[in-house]
Amino acid sequence: MAAIALAGLATPSATAAGAVARPASSPGCDTARSAVAASLDTLTRRHGIPGAAAEVDDGTCGKWNIAGGVADLGTGRPMNAQDRLRIGSVSKTFTATVVVQLAAEGRIGLDAPVERYLPGLIRGNGHDGRRITVRQLLQHTSGLPDHSEALVDRPVEEWRYRHFEPRELIATALEQPRPDKKWHYSTTNYLIAGLIVEKVTGRGVEAEVTRRILKPLGLRTTYWPGDETRIRGPHSRSYFTGPDAPDGTPSPRIDGTEWNVSFGGAGGALISTPSDVGRFLGALSGGELLPARWLGEMKRTVPADPDRLWPGARYGLGLIASPLECGGWWWGHGGTVPGGHRALGAVGPGGRSVALALNQVPGTDRAEEDFLAVVNTAFCAADRTGHPDSTDRTDRTDRSEETP
């Protein structure tokens, strides 16, 4: 999802702290924990992110979490990896999974035109739902603009607390300039996918995600907020900065925790925790939600625009594939919301998973690179000292290790 541009500001930062319960210590596990702690510390101390947290889960070191900085600048409450946050576009993977489940059931054709399910919805400015397939929606190759780009150009207070209907936002997108590249990241694609789910099931996409994913996996901290502007239960605050003053004075940091995220809908509205995100992606990768053939469809990727994601990234059906510096790929998704939360969940070689949470979006290219570096660190640090998962991978069948 598009986000309001943010500037890095200095902020107090607490030292990263270890997990609630650690398994028996080993050189590889200790190295991984220390390296992830240092990576989070880079975000809070060097780049001024108020709080950063990570949860890592693998078969050798078990599940552990680390947090640094503060969850609330007003009270100084420490960041906690078990806190809820808005996960933004990580929501797309949940929605895409339901669409592919329905495809596996024969109720949606991935290569069927949008027109089959939503006649007349996509018309105008050269767009035609008869020539756009469901697969292209999920893959961001539909050629549709992103309604979010129109919103963030408007003053925040005009839309921060507003309710938006999906069809209203789709109409806004169709009025925007046409993308100039074949692959164009657009949350509008997922609003349309959500309407297709509603059309074929008779229930909203939120209800289907809850029924098919959240309840079966026991993801009790994940929910769709609807028009609620507050986050339920323990959560980190989130922060953003507005435009600089006319004289160049930087905008002060603004609390963006309360927000109506109906503008994100099926493509960006979910609230969750790192633990639930990791559990979901692990279940998806492990075959709990889709038969192997259909998980393979989600992992059929095309090159992504590095200006809209990052160099080397590829995009499947609601899944990003990104190369690891230690070999192999991670599969998952990142998410951003205008109020300041930044999330990322990934599964890598051997089924190891990592989920990250920030309460301010990185404001520079270097800060974003250091955020992504936490993922590489979580997957690769232990391998540098002989983590058992780093040896003899030739006979593994986990599809997360395949080249997209």
Enumerate the active-site residues: 89
| Both structure tokens of 155 | 């003053």
Pairwise CA distance, residues 187 & 223, whole Å: 19
Give the DSSP H or E segment for 329. strand 329-336
Number of neighbouring beta carbons within 10 Å of residue 364 = 13
Pairwise CA distance, residues 194 & 66, whole Å: 34
| Both structure tokens of 61 | 């070191």
Pairwise CA distance, residues 111 & 268, whole Å: 24
Give the DSSP H or E segment for 272. strand 271-272
Helix (H, G, I), strand (E, B), or coil: what is residue 192?
Answer: helix
Helices assigned H by DSSP within 211-330: 215-217, 274-285, 292-298
φ, ψ for residue 68, nearest 5 deg: -135, 155
* Secondary structure (DSSP) of 346-387: EE-GGG-EEEEEESB---SHHHHHHHHHHHHHHHHTGGGGT-
Query: Among residues 131, 109, 225, 127, which one has the least CA distance to residue 174?
Result: 127
- CB 202, CB 211: distance < 8 Å: no
Pairwise CA distance, residues 259 & 360, whole Å: 14
- CB 356, CB 27: distance < 8 Å: no
Helix (H, G, I), strand (E, B), or coil: what is residue 233?
Answer: coil
Quote the crossing angle between the two packed helices 365-380 and 27-41, to the nearest 10°.
Answer: 170
φ, ψ for residue 84, nearest 5 deg: -75, 160
Distances (CA, A) of 52 to 19, 33, 141, 170, 339: 14, 14, 33, 34, 15
- CB 118, CB 196: distance < 8 Å: yes
Helix (H, G, I), strand (E, B), or coil: what is residue 45?
Answer: helix
